[in-house]
Structure 1
Amino acid sequence: MIRMASGWFYLSCLLLGSLGSMCILFTIYWMQYWRGGFAWNGSIYMFNWHPVLMVAGMVVFYGGASLVYRLPQSWVGPKLPWKLLHAALHLMAFILTVVGLVAVFTFHNHGKIANLYSLHSWLGITAVFLFACQWCLGFAVFLLPWASMWLRSLLKPIHVFFGAAILSLSIASVISGINEKLFFSLKNTTRPYNSLPSEAVFANSTGMLVVAFGLLVLYILLASSWKRPEPGILTDRQPLLHDGE
């Protein structure tokens, strides 16, 4: 029997969608209004794609993809379509992330700036590396038909843990990146970062939105009453195209 999701679940989803949209829109507005807009030519305007795409990919799309199995609609009928949706949303998040990395590496190389020297970059590249491993492992073990239920049961808690860990690392990377960008951008201006000019207020607020979004995703993931019920009977192998999956 399917447990009915409470009104709080749908309210949380509505709030989550609003926060996620605001995270992306606020980042776009920051880059457009204060940092001069966007280009794809190796200039600083190419860099501006980096924060937008990383927030969209590693935080918003990734967070949304993580919650597919919390939807009550996924608790009944074939599980395969939800597996495919889960994998596809994560793949979209990864594509946005890779394009965001291309933007920042191209800008750095074009401007003869060192890569991967800051804590922000270490956090970010670690999150991306784990994300790639997580997606490949999930595709190979949970979507393709070869893995036994024993192996899936063994790896599922690890898969879930690293899902939350990657999101947490992504949020830490975004927050440190916002801070780093403000320090570099405002260090030689008439109103430095410590005087809290309007750009700093707006960017800090964007960071707080990202934190709020991430915390809400983690809350929904950890809320036991919103988890997908375990099926009563499971076959030893679940083929990729089996209707019952």
Structure 2
Amino acid sequence: MVLGRFYLSCLLLGSLGSMCILFTIYWMQYWRGGFAWNGSIYMFNWHPVLMVAGMVVFYGGASLVYRLPQSWVGPKLPWKLLHAALHLMAFILTVVGLVAVFTFHNHGRTANLYSLHSWLGITTVFLFACQWFLGFAVFLLPWASMWLRSLLKPIHVFFGAAILSLSIASVISGINEKLFFSLKNTTRPYHSLPSEAVFANSTGMLVVAFGLLVLYILLASSWKRPEPGILTDRQPLLHDGE
């Protein structure tokens, strides 16, 4: 029963993550004119897509690697590599997304990093970079002692959840900011809820739902990877039906 709920949650998570990315792509393609890499507004359109894909979907998926029951037995190194690789992919997508928005701003002589959204977003990316490099240095490279890893593990776990929460907040504030800028001079302003506003708000709700489900799976005690030496037949994910 517990195993079934876990994999059902993973299936729902995959569906929500895919919808988050696809909805953002559709928003940028249908209402904002599509994509380019030439410094124009169409270059900006890469920014929301890549940030949602990197900082929310890939980051959230990478955070759950150690919740898979298959990672509980056998060598841990392959799962560490997968965890680090998925986070690296998330970071690469994030950096490209930042390049897109900064290039667009500079091309149009628009100021950078003046809004609350930009402050929150750049802080999140900075924390993510620190988290990844610290995790790589301490938990993947073989030099760190067990006491150091034990000391830093709770901090690593906390910042993992905190960065995901900050990413969601950044996306939500970014959606609002984009709608305010895009619809402020149109015949149907944001407050009248034109179809674009309804669709973008719905995309934001999907992002929130995805993030909350990731946090739920991370915090569910029965779905956590057991500590070394205490993997027993009482682990519900390995022995379903108890």
TM-score in terms of structure 1 length: 0.93
Q: Runs of 5+ in structure 1 lacking a partner? A: none
| Equivalent residues of 1:47, 1:107 under 8 A apart | yes
| Equivalent residues of 1:70, 1:226 under 8 A apart | yes
Aligned to 1:77, the other structure's residue is in SS state coil
RMSD of aligned Cα (Å): 5.4
Structure 1 residues 80, 231: CA separation in 2 closer, same or farther (over 3 Å shift)?
A: same
Partner Cα distance (2:129, 2:2) in 1: 32
| Equivalent residues of 1:78, 1:243 under 8 A apart | no
Q: Give, in angstroms, the shift of residue 233 of structure 1.
A: 8.3
| Equivalent residues of 2:60, 2:164 under 8 A apart | yes
Aligned to 1:165, the other structure's residue is in SS state helix
CA deviations 1:173-225 (Å, max 9, x no partner) are 00000000000000000000000000000000000000000000000000000
4+ long deviations beyond 6 Å = 233-245
Aligned to 1:6, the other structure's residue is in SS state helix
Q: Give, in angstroms, the shift of residue 6 of structure 1.
A: 2.0
Q: Give, in angstroms, the shift of residue 235 of structure 1.
A: 19
Aligned residue in 1 for 2:68: 71
Give the percent of matched residue pairs that are identical in Structure 1 and Structure 2.
97
CA deviations 1:93-148 (Å, max 9, x no partner) are 00000000000000000000000000100110011000000000000000000000
Partner Cα distance (1:110, 1:242) in 2: 58
Structure 1 residues 29, 238: CA separation in 2 closer, same or farther (over 3 Å shift)?
A: closer
Q: Give, in angstroms, the shift of residue 70 of structure 1.
A: 0.1
| Equivalent residues of 1:147, 1:237 under 8 A apart | no
Structure 1 residues 147, 237: CA separation in 2 closer, same or farther (over 3 Å shift)?
A: farther
Structure 1 residues 139, 236: CA separation in 2 closer, same or farther (over 3 Å shift)?
A: farther
| Equivalent residues of 1:65, 1:90 under 8 A apart | yes
Structure 1 residues 100, 238: CA separation in 2 closer, same or farther (over 3 Å shift)?
A: farther
Alignment length (residue pairs): 242
Structure 1 residues 240, 12: CA separation in 2 closer, same or farther (over 3 Å shift)?
A: closer
Structure 1 residues 140, 236: CA separation in 2 closer, same or farther (over 3 Å shift)?
A: farther
Structure 1 residues 212, 243: CA separation in 2 closer, same or farther (over 3 Å shift)?
A: closer
Partner Cα distance (2:187, 2:68) in 1: 50
Partner Cα distance (2:74, 2:157) in 1: 22
Q: Runs of 5+ in structure 2 lacking a partner? A: none
Q: Judge which range, 139-148 or 224-233, deviates more.
A: 224-233
| Equivalent residues of 2:3, 2:240 under 8 A apart | no
Structure 1 residues 243, 70: CA separation in 2 closer, same or farther (over 3 Å shift)?
A: closer
| Equivalent residues of 1:32, 1:38 under 8 A apart | yes
